[in-house]
Amino acid sequence: MTDRYCVFGNPIKHSKSPLIHGEFARQTQQPMTYTAVLAPEDGFTDAWRAFVAGGGRGANVTVPFKGDAFALCDTLSYRAKRAQAVNTLIVGGNGRTYGDTTDGIGLVRDLAYHRVPLAGKRVLVLGAGGAVRGILEPLLAEKPSEVVVANRTVAKAEQLAEAFVDLGRIYGGGFASVKGPFDVVINGTSASLSGELPPLPETLFGEGAWAYDMMYGAEPTVFLQWAGPRGAKLLDGLGMLVEQAAESFFAWRNVRPETASVRTLLRQSLNY
């Protein structure tokens, strides 16, 4: 019996998830298929139910459906409840839907893979949308000295920080109030997609600091292009994509795949 999995999104044609999970399945010899499914913007729940009715065992969920996935779940993981979003769906033995989010753990594991220290460090997170909300609980679990959330809409950053203040030292504010230096700066805005850059001070990066963009591409993002000449070491979100996928795969199959070779494969695929 071959088990069926997929990723839901809109758009979805660009997704690298089938490549990643196909490689994980080959590597671990798991009897499964993994495809990309374009769901209607107003029809995600019906698409999920149809997939399950056809024998689907689980799925990843990407933009714009992570909130819809959160709403349809019968049971949620702790980190999904904190993130208020779901990117991993699992069909339980009783037919009930379990939801998890692996984005934050994917980020933290990618930073660990590159030996980026977080404990005791000052971390700046740019943006206050769903992508940022999904990473804050695992990020704070690494015990940074403080996390500052900066956003164009100040109130949104303040509200987000308040929602996580029980987990550690976290503050929210506007870009104008950002005071460096920081040890790690994470761009969680969508600015890289539009080629824009948040208004940031020149003195953002401390000595040996890292700049991390949750987006990735064949070329460095506009944020990384800006950060490099200002002394930061650079990382994009490709490794985060692979690591969050590995965590989803483990949740489905109870087998943890090796990720280093898949990182290399995915990086190479961007050049074609």
- 195 assigned ligand-binding residue: no
214 has binding-site annotation: yes
Length of the chain, please? 272
Cα–Cα distance between 121 and 130 in angstroms, integer? 23
- Please pick, among 66, 121, 179, 233, the residue that the annotation labels catalytic: 66
Q: What does the alpha-carbon distance between residue 1 and residue 190 come to, in Å, rounded to a whole number? A: 41
The C-alpha atoms of residue 151 and residue 138 are separated, in whole angstroms, by 20
Q: Is 47 annotated as a binding residue?
A: no
Confirm whether residue 17 is marked as ligand binding: yes
- 25 annotated as a binding-site residue: no
113 is in an annotated binding site: no
Active-site residue, 121 included: no
- 27 annotated among ligand-binding-site residues: no
Task: Report the amino acid identity of residue 12.
Answer: I
42 annotated as ligand-binding: no
**Residue the block writes with tokens 């490099």:** 228
151 carries a ligand binding annotation? yes
Instruction: Show contacts of 202-205: CB within 8 Å, 24+ apart.
Output: 202/230, 204/124, 204/178, 204/180, 204/230, 204/232, 205/180, 205/181, 205/230, 205/231, 205/232
Is 99 marked as a binding-site residue?
Answer: no
Flag whether 261 is marked binding.
no
Q: Is 153 annotated as a binding residue?
A: yes
What sign for the dihedral angle of Cα 82, 247, 170, 86?
negative
Please give the Cα distance from 211 to 235 (Å, whole number).
6
Q: What is the Cα 228 distance to its own chain's centre?
A: 23
DSSP 175: G
* Among 205, 190, 202, residue whose Cα is nearest residue 152: 190
Which amino acids are annotated as binding site, given as ranges? 15-17, 62, 87, 103, 127-131, 151-156, 214, 216, 237, 244
Going by the annotation, the residues of the binding site for NADP(+) are 127-131, 151-156, 214, 237
Point out the residues that are catalytic: 66
Residues annotated within a binding site for shikimate:
15-17, 62, 87, 103, 216, 244
